[in-house]
Structure 1
Amino acid sequence: MNRKHPATGPLTVTVFVFPGVRLLDVTGPIEVFTTANEFGGCYQVQIASEDGTEVITSAGTRLSADLSAHDVQEPCDILLIPGGPEWETMIKDDALVDTVRHLHAKSHCTASVCTGAFLLAAAGLLNGRRAATHWRHSRQLASRFPSVQVQPDAIFVRDGQVMTSAGVSAGIDLSLALVEDHYGAQVARSVAKDMVVFMQRPGGQSQFSVRSRTPHTRQEMLRRVLDAVAEDPGANHTLTAMARRAGISVRHMTRLFDDEVGTTPARYVEQVRLEAAQVLLETGDDPMPAVARRTGFGSAESLRRAFVRHLGVTPGAFRTSFRTTGMHTTDPASAPTAP
């Protein structure tokens, strides 16, 4: 489901749980949807298990179910499939996989969290689709299910009526995106602030903060272009390539960026690439040439020039400044602020 307009009535969210499910995969999204109800949303959340009985999570916590999977009424607006650490056992459970397939048939939108993507893949729901999962398991997902187009750096991926997200807390990001689809950016922003999380965290290759600052475009083809840049900053995003991707002229593409985004195509692409490089420098140890290649700058020198021009520091100096989380900062004025 990808409404792009405010919902007009209550929306049903069914969270499917099973023995060994990861607790935060369940509770994180539930918290987003129930908090949204405090700011104008209208979600009805229900927890379903195979037979309607409680399950024990991977943390040893008991989770009660509201109903059995076969008692779920259609249409279900959102079906959420969480993951669990024992994903190899999960995908060999034919009954579990059949239940996921059965619930998907009743749902407008099916979304997975973390290794829940393996259940969707085992049920054949990701065949030919792009998908995300926990970075640690991306290679296993790709090797076990070759028909799935795994996006290893994405926080979440939307492909038609199916959404998949990265590890654990990324289920919150995915849920916030759904809230924005249903009730608009302001409601989603209010939920993010209330939960003290990023509305669109500056991490991964699909959710950079420059994207959250970009006005919501009314042009679907332009939104697809913007999403493509954010999902893979290192790809070919020349003005000609973007215009061809959208099926419009170069002049029309330039005009759309000016009218809808408030900047030029080249400047927008550079901003996304710069933030992608910042994330890689904050979180990894890749050498500068590799960071430059992955983010579309091409060379370490081009990366250095962009950093100096926009941030006033070299990539090396930037990386050094992010070797601490700031948790032990004693000066309150210098502590990081909540989003």
Structure 2
Amino acid sequence: MQRIGFLLYPGFQVMSLAAVSVFEFANLENGSAAYDISFLSETGGSIISSIGLATETKAFDGEHVDTLLVTGAVGLASTSPGIQRYVGEALTHTRRLASICTGAFVLAEAGVLDGRRATTHWAVAREIQSRFPKIRMEEDRIFVVDGTVWSSAGMTAGVDLALAMVEEDLGADLARRVARMLVVYHRRAGGQSQFSALLDMHPKSDRIQTALSYARRNLKEPLSVEQLAEAAHLSPRQFSRAFRAETGQSPAKAVEILRLEAARLMMEDGRHPVDVVARETGFADRERMRRAFLRGFGQPPQAIRRNAQRDLNA
């Protein structure tokens, strides 16, 4: 049985503990306990989260675990020298040392991330990078694996990280069953972007949101302005004017962004040939998709796929 420890400290963010359910359901789906979960802190006893929820913990002094996951907090709050020392020493005796969200800051303070690839929540990635310039920060990743050190992006990305650990330990089939039980994707690839195109465009009205949702469901179609305007119940002229006012870009550019996001996910998934990805996402042919990838990501589709596979196999 593997021992999984979650390191808590005052002000930790409760969503960091969502990953606990991955290991809990792995035990259930496995039919026997593969994981023993413990909650650790410097002092032991009750540790209060940022929202006021108390969690009972054991003092980490003398505690050794196979996998140590450091929880995140709201913002970047320095931890005690004792926590930094424990995390730094954990690198030598744990099989995996991981951070969830801003837990990367704790790993950075302990010197664990020096010279390593890592990620964290996009909102604080550059600040951590500026404070700890030796980190090779990959701020647009869901999670990153560098040797025995794992790191994940914002809080829900800890679920993806934990599913990847279960897959490594118990196989892909069981990890898929756990994902189904938790009603989540199996699983977002580590190289997948943290950002959502629809969220980034943040349309203000229901009509423009409806048109964008229609576009995302029908990427294989030509998606002319007339089609999108009809979905929004506006004239083409009204639609184009309202669309640019709300999103800051033309309908054609927005559709390309949605196509790029979908194509990138399919490339990272690795199950479909490039020609199929291009056809299913509305680029028509691989050369047109390649040019769009170079404009959008600065890399061709094959490089995106190689990077995702490298993360999975690291």
Provide TM-score, normalisation by structure 1: 0.59
Deviates more, 1:199-208 or 1:121-130: 199-208
Per-residue CA deviations over 1:208-245 (Å, capped at 9, x if unaligned) read 3544464xxxxxxxxxxxxxxxxxxxxxxxxxxxxxxx
Superposition CA RMSD, Å: 2.9
Q: 2:68 aligns to what? A: 79
Whether the 8 Å contact between 2:266 and 2:277 is mirrored in structure 1 is no
Paired residue for 1:30, among 17, 20, 25? 20
Whether the 8 Å contact between 1:201 and 1:209 is mirrored in structure 2 is no
Q: Write the distance in 1 (CA, Å) between the matches of 2:292 and 2:123.
A: 24
Structure 1 unaligned residues grouped into runs of 5+: 1-9, 215-261, 278-287, 299-339
Paired residue for 1:143, among 109, 115, 130? 130
Q: Write the distance in 1 (CA, Å) between the matches of 2:34 and 2:22.
A: 12
Q: 2:157 aligns to what? A: 170
2:295 is aligned with 1:292: yes
Question: How far did residue 85 of structure 1 move?
Answer: 1.3
Whether the 8 Å contact between 1:69 and 1:103 is mirrored in structure 2 is no
Letter in 2 for 1:39: E
Question: How far did residue 108 of structure 1 move?
Answer: 1.1
Whether the 8 Å contact between 2:100 and 2:158 is mirrored in structure 1 is yes
Paired residue for 1:70, among 61, 70, 84? 61
Question: How far did residue 70 of structure 1 move?
Answer: 0.8
Q: Residue 3 of structure 2: SS of its match in structure 1?
A: strand
How is 1:127-138 mapped onto 2 (pairs within 5 angstroms)? Answer: 127-138=114-125
Q: Write the distance in 2 (CA, Å) between the matches of 1:296 and 1:210.
A: 12
Question: How far did residue 290 of structure 1 move?
Answer: 9.0
Letter in 1 for 2:8: V
Are residues 213 and 35 of structure 1, via their aligned partners in 2, closer, same or farther at CA, if it must alter by over 3 Å?
farther
Q: Write the distance in 1 (CA, Å) between the matches of 2:12 and 2:295.
A: 38
| % identity of equivalent residues | 32
Whether the 8 Å contact between 2:153 and 2:194 is mirrored in structure 1 is no
Size of the aligned set, in residue pairs, is 220
Q: 2:46 aligns to what? A: 54
Per-residue CA deviations over 1:273-306 (Å, capped at 9, x if unaligned) read x98x9xxxxxxxxxx97982415359xxxxxxxx
Are residues 162 and 297 of structure 1, via their aligned partners in 2, closer, same or farther at CA, if it must alter by over 3 Å?
closer
Question: How far did residue 100 of structure 1 move?
Answer: 1.9
Q: Residue 188 of structure 2: SS of its match in structure 1?
A: coil
Letter in 1 for 2:51: A
How is 1:1-339 mapped onto 2 (pairs within 5 angstroms)? Answer: 10-26=1-17, 28-40=18-30, 42-65=34-57, 67-73=58-64, 76-87=65-76, 89-91=77-79, 93-201=80-188, 203-204=192-193, 208-212=265-269, 214=271, 263=273, 267=274, 271=277, 292-294=295-297, 296=299
Deviates more, 1:196-205 or 1:16-25: 196-205
Whether the 8 Å contact between 2:293 and 2:300 is mirrored in structure 1 is no
Q: Residue 66 of structure 2: SS of its match in structure 1?
A: strand
Structure 2 unaligned residues grouped into runs of 5+: 196-263, 284-290, 302-314
Q: 2:239 aligns to what? A: none
Q: Write the distance in 1 (CA, Å) between the matches of 2:90 and 2:54.
A: 22
Q: Residue 82 of structure 2: SS of its match in structure 1?
A: helix
Q: Residue 61 of structure 2: SS of its match in structure 1?
A: helix
Provide TM-score, normalisation by structure 2: 0.63
Are residues 296 and 290 of structure 1, via their aligned partners in 2, closer, same or farther at CA, if it must alter by over 3 Å?
closer
Q: Residue 90 of structure 1: SS of its match in structure 2?
A: coil
Question: How far did residue 201 of structure 1 move?
Answer: 2.8
Q: Write the distance in 1 (CA, Å) between the matches of 2:159 and 2:98.
A: 12
Per-residue CA deviations over 1:18-62 (Å, capped at 9, x if unaligned) read 100111102x11100011111116111111111211100011100
Whether the 8 Å contact between 1:200 and 1:208 is mirrored in structure 2 is no
